[in-house]
């Protein structure tokens, strides 16, 4: 995280990270929603390692 507070919602729950910290993702096929969880602008650097033979994303339900 470069600035702000990020939230990540998955079927495992909601986690947060703030500026200067990192957050690791969940395994393949885990739907996620990433959102600005703070009161200021959010600046982040996100890197995804994906399987080139599969679609990057698909419709997901977090309920």
Quote the pTM value.
Answer: 0.73
Residue with tokens 């947060």, as numbered in its chain: 16
56: left (phi over 0), alpha (psi -120 to 50) or beta: alpha
- What is the per-residue pLDDT across 28-59, written as a single tens digit (0 to 9) for each? 778 888 999 999 999 998 888 888 888 777 77
Query: pLDDT tens, 1-23?
Result: 899 999 999 998 999 999 999 98
Quick check: 7 and 35 in contact, CB under 8 A?
yes
């Amino acid at each position: 995280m470069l600035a702000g507070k990020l939230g990540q919602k998955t079927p495992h729950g909601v986690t947060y990270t703030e500026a200067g910290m990192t957050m690791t993702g969940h395994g393949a096929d885990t739907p996620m929603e990433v959102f600005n969880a703070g009161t200021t602008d959010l600046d982040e650097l996100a890197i995804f390692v994906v399987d080139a033979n599969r679609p990057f994303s698909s419709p997901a339900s977090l309920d």
